[in-house]
Structure 1
Amino acid sequence: MAEPRLSLCMIVKNEEKNLPRCLESVQGQVDEIVVVDTGSTDGTREVAARYGAKVLTYRWQNDFSAARNVSLDHASGDWVLWLDADEELLDSSQGVTLRQLAAVSDMDGYLMPIQNMKLDGTFTAHYAVRFFRKLDGIHFEGKAHESVGDWLLRYGGRIERSPVAIRHWGYAITEERLQEKLDRNLELLMAQVEKDPNNSYAHYYVGMSLMAKKNFEGGYRHLKKAQELGPTTPNMECLVLNMLAYYHLHHGNHRTAEELTRRSLSITPRQHTGRLFLGIALYNQKKYREALPLLREAYQFQRLPLDRRRSDLSLEHAYGEAELLWAVARSAYEVGNFPLAYQFAQRLQEAGGTDGSVLVLQAASSLALGAFQEAAIFFQKAQDMGASWVHIAAPWIFALLHLGRLDEARDLLEKAGSGFFENGESEKTFPLFVERHWEAGEMAELIQTLTRLAAMDHVPLAVLDALALSLIKQQRYTEAVPVLEKMLHDDPGNPQIQRRLAAVYARLGHGARAAELLNAGGAGSLSGNVSNRSSGKNG
């Protein structure tokens, strides 16, 4: 049986710079090159001719399909590959060639992975029928986002995934040029909708284009129209549901986004976008345990080489690497998987995502793993980058206490001031701070720090309590009196404070005041009230 002939079909205009890269990539892969020029004024036609292309001239009609169908009419091959000038054919990592794909007798087309490069070197990916058998009557459809895919589906053709991929450089451009390209496509798509208002496919692409231009409300209306008209395939139904979910994610309607993505996944379970958007929706609802495996899978999927990605959708969306790394790290921390949280925070740092919040998460993960020295280093770096004392003071001091670095802990506590007590972790850290100083016999240093803290506005009762007890332990009763009086003023009628203050007055020989306090509170005996024990949780 004769080997099938392969034709490359292209439409071009002023592409003399891009065209050589494209045509070099297909050398030895195709038997014929058909180039339809739609009005070039540079050397595009001459470049194409140098590569042996059949060059045709066609007057542009504001319709991509019409131009592509001209190239199709002049192709003599059994199979057709179509590319744009800003694309190139990539070698398969599996060593598979187009000729091998065309030799499969019962196959009619291949969805080829397309790597859409960005200026920063990252890329998104989608799949499109770019290599297909030249069946009788086959033709492109759609003024923009043209394809033969729908025709093949109506024909009943068999379509499979291709291990051979295409790299697209058309989006590696400035934002201004990208907007110009979107405007051009949007104009053609709107003309198609006007001509065929019941075309759900056209409404979907209008909605996508409007959202890419940040016109979310206009995009939403067209996506809802596509949904109401009834997408023609399960693939299109999922694409519409996923973009509607994206709209709701953007507006903070995370519960609605969750519902839409679950519907999408029930139709097509093997997909990336539905799982990614579901993970984001769950994460933003603080459902970290459910979100974590989805977000981690999404990260792993986006790191795969294009030809190793497995999906049953024609278009997969991506999420920024830094945002995804952060979401995985945060989710892992919230569910207590501290090694994973540390690992992904470290990856984020290596990817250039180092800011105060990342360092705080690394420090907190290190602390949870008992790596106190490392935690202290990360907290210091976070503080150098302007992290709030509210977020770092309590856990940082906790690490320093475990390292026995009491002088640094005191210095930090004085610098942080009230910010220390605004963090819930201060409830376990402050009693430890006091206890470690008592154990080390550094009472004078402790009292000095507590005295400075007691001068703060809205001083926490725990500070006064610790200061009073520390003074009593040192038998500095006269100094303890104003501290205890302030505690009683802030918490009037507290019997424990009344008994302790009465005992101190008794030690100082002020029996009348002691009796007054005991009678006011019905506190009873003074026995045991001036001791080395705390009345609260700081002892």
Structure 2
Amino acid sequence: MQKTKLSVCMIVKNEEQFIADCLKSVQPVADQIVVVDTGSTDQTVEIARSFGAEVHNFKWCDDFAAARNASIKYAKGDWIFWLDADERLEADSLKPLKQLLKPEKRPVAYLITIKNLLADGKTFKLSTGHRLFTNHKKLYFEGRVHEQIVYSLARNGGEERPSNIRLLHLGYGLGAEVQARKDQRNRELLLKMVEEQPNNAYAHYTLGQNYGLAGNHQKALKHYLIALEKQKFQKSLARQLLNNISEAYLKLGNFTEAKRFAEQSLKMSNQQIGAYYLQYKIAQAQDQISEAVQWLQRLREKNLAVSKGRLQIENDILLSDNDILFSMAELFLKLNELSKAESCLTEIIGHSDATNDLIKKMANLLIRYQAYELCLKLLQKHMNTTDVEILDLIGVVQIKQQNFIGAIQTYTQILQQQPNNFEVIKRLAGLFFKIGEKEKGESLLKILNDLNQFNQVSMQ
């Protein structure tokens, strides 16, 4: 039997930073790589050719669908897989993708999960897209921006199927300046699209998302509500629209409406993460701490199920478990439930290397809530207490506790490692004055003065 072949199709412009890793990720499954370039001035084209890609030029016309359609017209494979340069096919998706490449008589499109990495570098927004479809002459893209094949698939009696294939999208974590340029470009195209198709619910939905990312929540809400009025979305997208409306109301301080739409979303699916997160944020914003804990606990249960592959849901978010536990610890500190806060923080340490940054973050949280004993316990139990940064934190806590003798011992340890540390000498001097040992304090101030004079002479 003849092998079923796959064409990977891309459109690019100035993607030298990303395209090599993208092509590496798909090369093991690609029988053909088609790259349509819309005007690169960097090394994008040369890098693409080094991977054996066929490169074709396309004059940009403010229409992503037109560019995508130009790319798939060169496809010779039985199946087409499309992606962007800032996306990577996850390694454990290679085998499942190959297994889907079977002969089909009718148009077929598979939904692929896209893990969109957000700016914090830890949180993912999960979405889905019809990224793998049969090379059928009646399947084509529509939409100036956020282009889709789903409409032509539906018109031609095509079949949509789920899959467990995942793409990692780096685009939302590129930095504020790059993201702002992309958002502005997309906004202009979406405004044209809404003007041309005022009844297109998806255009209003994506324009609302664009305004939301830019922080213009009033305009985002306006377009979300238009989309809600006109939409005939599938369940997952309809649910995400309700979550977006809830989030916009939350950002605008209308907690009643935010809660109402989050509840509607949960009625559609109680197996999601997004609406639980919104309910947590709404409760937190209203200082309803016990309720916020309950929502966060439910959120964590769903988040763990998704991250471990026990639960799959389209159009959702995926949070760092450490971030959830850290937020939970802070809520327990607000409730003065120290043992529960300790349990959360201990679990975080069990998940990861106890780096100084992580321990400092925890210590500063505990100091903020005056949980000094717990802070010392954490620092002394889990870290190398000869480390200067950790010793400094221990000293700060001892001073907060007015344990000046203990603080003197701690800062003396630091001074032994860093004898010319101005700040440590100054702090030790102050501590000796506090306990009435004026002579030792003055001696340290003299050392400080001598160091100052030495440095001034050295600089001349």
TM-score, structure 1 length as denominator?
0.62
The 2-side partners of 1:178 and 1:221 are apart by: 23
Pairwise CA distance, 1:365:
9.7
Report the counterpart of residue 363 of structure 1 in structure 2.
371
Counterpart of 1:110, as a letter, is Y
Q: Deviations over 1:428-448 (max 9, x none)?
A: xxxxxxxxxxxxxxxxxxxxx
Is the radius of gyration larger for structure 1 or structure 2? 1
Pairwise CA distance, 1:331:
4.2
> For residues 123 and 286 of structure 1, do their structure 2 counterparts lie closer, same or farther at Cα, with a shift above 3 Å needed?
closer
Structure 2's unaligned 5+ residue stretches are 382-389, 407-460
Q: What fraction of aligned residue pairs are identical, expressed as a percent?
A: 31
Counterpart of 2:56, as a letter, is L
> For residues 384 and 256 of structure 1, do their structure 2 counterparts lie closer, same or farther at Cα, with a shift above 3 Å needed?
farther
Report the counterpart of residue 96 of structure 1 in structure 2.
95
Is the contact made by 1:91 and 1:165 (CA closer than 8 Å) also made in structure 2?
no
The 1-side partners of 2:54 and 2:256 are apart by: 55
Q: Deviations over 1:372-426 (max 9, x none)?
A: x99xxx9x96993799x9xxxxxx79xx9xxxxxx99xxxxxxxxxxxxxxxxxx
**Matching of residue 223 in structure 1 with residue 235 in structure 2:** no
> For residues 150 and 119 of structure 1, do their structure 2 counterparts lie closer, same or farther at Cα, with a shift above 3 Å needed?
same
RMSD: 3.8
Is the contact made by 1:204 and 1:226 (CA closer than 8 Å) also made in structure 2?
yes
Segment of structure 1 superposing worse, 186-195 or 219-228: 219-228
Aligned pairs for 1:102-251 (under 5 A) are 102-103=101-102, 108-118=108-118, 121-126=121-126, 127-153=128-154, 155=156, 157-251=158-252
Segment of structure 1 superposing worse, 238-247 or 336-345: 336-345
Pairwise CA distance, 1:302:
5.1
Is the contact made by 1:345 and 1:358 (CA closer than 8 Å) also made in structure 2?
no
Segment of structure 1 superposing worse, 341-350 or 56-65: 341-350
> For residues 182 and 81 of structure 1, do their structure 2 counterparts lie closer, same or farther at Cα, with a shift above 3 Å needed?
same
Pairwise CA distance, 1:47:
2.7
Q: Which has the higher contact order (CA 8 A, sep 6+)?
A: 2
> For residues 264 and 18 of structure 1, do their structure 2 counterparts lie closer, same or farther at Cα, with a shift above 3 Å needed?
same
> For residues 290 and 160 of structure 1, do their structure 2 counterparts lie closer, same or farther at Cα, with a shift above 3 Å needed?
farther
Is the contact made by 1:339 and 1:365 (CA closer than 8 Å) also made in structure 2?
no
**Secondary structure of residue in 2 paired with 1:130:** strand
Pairwise CA distance, 1:291:
3.6
The 2-side partners of 1:192 and 1:308 are apart by: 37
Aligned pairs for 1:31-430 (under 5 A) are 31-92=31-92, 96-103=95-102, 108-118=108-118, 121-126=121-126, 127-153=128-154, 155=156, 157-299=158-300, 308=309, 310-313=311-314, 315-317=315-317, 324-332=324-332, 339-346=339-346, 351=358, 353-354=361-362, 356-359=364-367, 363=371, 384=396
**Secondary structure of residue in 2 paired with 1:88:** strand
Pairwise CA distance, 1:206:
0.7
Is the contact made by 2:115 and 2:166 (CA closer than 8 Å) also made in structure 1?
yes
> For residues 309 and 12 of structure 1, do their structure 2 counterparts lie closer, same or farther at Cα, with a shift above 3 Å needed?
farther
**Secondary structure of residue in 2 paired with 1:312:** coil
**Secondary structure of residue in 2 paired with 1:109:** strand
The 1-side partners of 2:86 and 2:154 are apart by: 28
Report the counterpart of residue 9 of structure 1 in structure 2.
9
Counterpart of 1:76, as a letter, is K
> For residues 322 and 70 of structure 1, do their structure 2 counterparts lie closer, same or farther at Cα, with a shift above 3 Å needed?
same
Counterpart of 1:70, as a letter, is A
Is the contact made by 2:66 and 2:141 (CA closer than 8 Å) also made in structure 1?
yes
Is the contact made by 1:272 and 1:311 (CA closer than 8 Å) also made in structure 2?
no
**Secondary structure of residue in 2 paired with 1:281:** helix
Pairwise CA distance, 1:200:
0.9
Aligned length: 385
TM-score, structure 2 length as denominator?
0.72
